[in-house]
Structure 1
Amino acid sequence: MRHVVFAIIAAILFGTTGTAQALGPDGASSLSVGSARIVIGGASLALVAWWLSRRARRVLRDSAPGRPTTDMLTLHIPNLPGPDLQSAPSPRGGRRTWLVVAVGAAAIVAYQPTFFLGMEVNGVAVGAVVAIGSGPIFTGMLEWLMSRRFPGYAWLTATVIAVVGIALLAGVGEAGMGDPTGLLLSLGAGACYALYALSAKQLLIYGWTPTGSVAVIFGWSALGALPILVLSNPTWLASVDGLVLGLWLGIATITVACLFLANALKALAASTVATLGLGEPLTATLLGVLVLHETLTGTAIVGLVLVIFGLVLIGSLRARRTTRA
């Protein structure tokens, strides 16, 4: 059950992104904010992995003199908050490992422009609901294709209920589905999320630690996003508000959130984690009402209830399986 909680915590942190940007400096473009988020978050994830591995190696050396140390990404660093000081088997995968890393890093970099441009073309409501709502569908389909195992009717039911709820939250029926180009961009963002989730899960299957898997993927994505940040006029980071925004988005919504997400992927299927990730727009909606003083229509309230019901359904099914085991 705690892994379900980890996935929900990650979704809540992801869901603060829009409100944080709304409260940030006016001169910060969406593309610049998104790239700064990846650069700061990826760099801090790499530092966390380095610090944990150095600490673990030191304890291993002190407790067993002469015992060879292992690479930082092969240490068994289990559920938060602290590391297990026993080493795990060496990661498997060989060249395939770095192909998985490359796919995951490219997906993270590509997610930012497709997500924000999709919202720019069709508006925040339609763009966000298509991108976030399609993520679990793409994840389940790709996981099914790769493993040749159907994620299950319980996952399908919970996903459909939550996606319908998100559609009602966004008022898609009132706004219309918009421009096809914007839809393709938003669908591309959903596919990018699915590729990242499956890449992180595959690294765990290969024997990587949760910390190591997200650190290496986001570390490479930070390098890829750095040129985008430089070219997108990042002067807003020089202000106090801009610096606070960058640190929150990088450390809270990338570093901390992805550590929770990676530990959730350790025990849950990627399709289940993606469905639990639908708590992101739920969080964004609640923050919009409580912090930005936005209002909800009757339809949106029904959508809110459906999203909560879908997330509770996934959590209860997982808890039931754990109890039976």
Structure 2
Amino acid sequence: MGFVIAVLAAALLFGTTGTSQALGPEGTTPFAVGVMRLLIGGTALALLTAGAAWLRRRRGPASERPRLTAVPLGLMALTAVCLFVYQPLFFLGTSTNGVAVSTVIALGSAPVLAGLLEWALTRTRPGSLWLSATALSTTGVALLGFGGGAGGSADPAGLVGSFGAGASFAVIAVAQRRLLDAGWHPFTVVGAMGGGAAAIALVALPFTDVSWMADPRGLVMGLWLGLATITVAYALFTWGLGGLKAATAATLTLGEPLTASVLGLAVLGEHLALLPTIGLVVLGAGLILLAWGSRTRRAPEPFAVEG
């Protein structure tokens, strides 16, 4: 059950992103916020990995580490690239089709895509519990998003961006699960992803206006988005993933729109119509079903591997 709680806690932190940006200073752009978020959070993840590895070596002899061949190295690089590209793809959707519709597509498609990808790679069909909980949760997300959205046709480029964001997160979940199955320590897996994404963000930094970081509100926002929604959130997500299937973990992250909606009501003074309110209840029911059914599932192997 601890693994489920860790992923749900990560989703809660992910869900504070929109509110944090809304409370931040004016003059920010989604790309600039994403670059600073990854630069701060990714660097902290890499440092966390190095510190955890040092502590493990101090406590006892290091166990044998898996060989860093082309396959794990490629998977680590893939997660870093996906973490970086997720943000411009997601924001492309929000800028063209609105936050509600884009969030529905990106977050609603991620669990389904993760389940299909995991099925294709492992030849293990998703169980009836995951299918039922994912269907229920995705329905809740759809009611939450479309129930409050405006009508009109969707921009094709925005749709591609939103689906791309969902696919990016699905690839992260499945690739990390395969690295964990191969014996890599969770902190090594998440640190490689964060450090790689930070390196990419560093390349983009000279072309990005981050003057808003000089504003106290901008600094607080940047630190929260980096340390809380990247460093802590992805450390929790990856650790929780060690005891869950990738598809299950991806479905549990649908707690993100649930958190974002509650914060919008409580902090930003937003209001929900009937359909989005029903969506919140349905989404919560799906997450409870999956969390309850996963409490005794998948016994993970001990993470004693040095990294």
Task: Output the TM-score relative to the length of structure 1.
Answer: 0.88
Q: Distance in 2 between matches of 1:44 and 1:173?
A: 37
Residue 322 of structure 1 and its aligned partner are, at CA, apart by 7.2
AA of the residue aligned to 1:123? G
Q: Is the 8 A contact 2:101 2:149 kept in 1?
A: no
Q: Distance in 2 between matches of 1:29 and 1:174?
A: 23
Could you tell me which residue of structure 2 aligns to residue 78 of structure 1?
Answer: none
Q: Distance in 1 between matches of 2:31 and 2:9?
A: 25
AA of the residue aligned to 2:70? R
Matched, 1:272 2:248: yes
Q: Is the 8 A contact 1:126 1:172 kept in 2?
A: no
Q: Decide which structure has the larger Cα Rg and report it.
A: 1
Residue 212 of structure 1 and its aligned partner are, at CA, apart by 1.0
AA of the residue aligned to 1:46? A
Q: Distance in 1 between matches of 2:209 and 2:297?
A: 50
Residue 28 of structure 1 and its aligned partner are, at CA, apart by 1.1
Q: Distance in 1 between matches of 2:137 and 2:22?
A: 25
Could you tell me which residue of structure 1 aligns to residue 18 of structure 2?
Answer: 18
Residues 92/158 of structure 1: CA separation in 2 closer, same or farther (3 Å cut): farther
Write the mapping of 1:91-240 to structure 2, written as runs, cut at 5 A: 91-92=66-67, 94-171=69-146, 175-176=150-151, 178-240=154-216
Q: Is the 8 A contact 2:83 2:168 kept in 1?
A: yes
Q: Distance in 2 between matches of 1:128 and 1:164?
A: 13
- Size of the aligned set, in residue pairs, is 298
Q: Distance in 1 between matches of 2:156 and 2:59?
A: 56
Residue 174 of structure 1 and its aligned partner are, at CA, apart by 5.2
Could you tell me which residue of structure 1 aligns to residue 3 of structure 2?
Answer: 3
**Cα distance per residue 1:65-88 (max 9 Å; x no partner):** xxxx6xxxxxxxxxxxxxxxxx44
Which segments of 5 or more consecutive residues in structure 2 lack a partner in the other structure? 300-307
**Cα distance per residue 1:120-147 (max 9 Å; x no partner):** 0101111111111111011011001111
Q: Distance in 1 between matches of 2:298 and 2:121?
A: 25
Could you tell me which residue of structure 1 aligns to residue 302 of structure 2?
Answer: none
Q: Distance in 2 between matches of 1:52 and 1:147?
A: 30
> For 1:19, what is the secondary structure of its paired residue?
helix
Q: Distance in 2 between matches of 1:12 and 1:38?
A: 18
AA of the residue aligned to 1:4? V
Residue 152 of structure 1 and its aligned partner are, at CA, apart by 1.2
Could you tell me which residue of structure 1 aligns to residue 293 of structure 2?
Answer: 317
Could you tell me which residue of structure 1 aligns to residue 28 of structure 2?
Answer: 28
Which segments of 5 or more consecutive residues in structure 1 lack a partner in the other structure? 61-68, 70-86
Residue 181 of structure 1 and its aligned partner are, at CA, apart by 1.6
Q: Over the residues paired in the alignment, what is the CA RMSD in angstroms?
A: 1.6
> For 2:272, what is the secondary structure of its paired residue?
coil
AA of the residue aligned to 2:14? F
Matched, 1:261 2:237: yes
**Percent of pairs with identical residues:** 44
**Cα distance per residue 1:251-304 (max 9 Å; x no partner):** 111111111101111110000000000000000000000000000111111000
Q: Is the 8 A contact 2:93 2:161 kept in 1?
A: yes
Q: Distance in 2 between matches of 1:226 and 1:97?
A: 23
Residue 228 of structure 1 and its aligned partner are, at CA, apart by 2.5
Q: Distance in 2 between matches of 1:193 and 1:234?
A: 26
